[in-house]
A = this chain, B = another copy of it.
C-alpha cells in the first residue's frame, strides 16, 4: 500500500494521483484506508515520505559504508537509482521531489516531512564525509551539493527520459 502510493506519487506527482486510483491499484477499500490514515491523503503523503525516506536512506548508508571513497559511493548509488529508473520506464522520479513540487509550501505537514527526509539523507552523507576527515562544515557543504546534484539530475533524467544525467552526479560533487 505504502509502496503502491510511493510509486504512483513518484510517477505522476502528489496531486496527479487520485485516492480512488490508489485504492484500486493497491486493492484496499476506502474504509480501511481512512482507518489507518484518518487524516487522509495528506497523512498518506507524509507516510510515503517517511517510507521512501528510510528506504533510500538505507541505500545511501549501504553505498557509503561499503565504498572506499565518496566518489565510489556516489557512483554506486547513482547506478542503483539509474537502474531502477530505467526499469520503471523512466517514470520513477525522486519521491521527495514529487511531493515537494505539489505540496510545499501549501501543506505544513508535508513541508515538514519533506524537509525532514532531505535533512536525513544529507545527514547520512555528511556523517561519512566527516568520517573521512572533512571538517563538519565541509561535510555539510558536501552533503548539500550532493543533494542538489542528485535532485537536479533526477529531474533532468525524467525530463530527457534518459538515465544519462544521473551519471554526472558523482563528477559534479566530488570534483572539488
A111 to chain B, nearest CB (A): 7
A105 contacts which of B14, B91, B151 (Cβ < 8 Å)? B91
A105 to chain B, nearest CB (A): 6
Tallying the copies of this chain within the complex gives: 4
B147 touches A100 (CB 8 A): no
Task: Please give, as numbers and ranges, the residues of chain B lying within 8 Å of A52 by CB-CB distance.
Answer: none
Name the prevailing secondary structure of the A interface residues: helix
Binds B, one of A57-65, A66-74, A131-139, A155-163: A155-163
A15 to chain B, nearest CB (A): 4
Task: Please give, as numbers and ranges, the residues of chain B lying within 8 Å of A148 by CB-CB distance.
Answer: 149, 152-153, 156, 165, 168-169, 172
A118 interface hit (Cβ, 8 Å): yes
The residue in chain B whose Cβ has the minimal distance to the Cβ of A96 is B159
Q: CA–CA, A169 to B148, complex, Å?
A: 9
What are 9 A-B residue pairs whose CB atoms fall within 8 Å in the complex?
A: A12-B15, A13-B101, A13-B102, A100-B158, A114-B159, A115-B159, A148-B156, A151-B155, A151-B156
- A97-B101, A104-B161 given. 15 additional CB < 8 A pairs? A12-B15, A14-B16, A16-B102, A91-B105, A93-B101, A114-B159, A115-B159, A148-B152, A149-B152, A151-B152, A151-B155, A151-B156, A152-B153, A152-B155, A175-B176
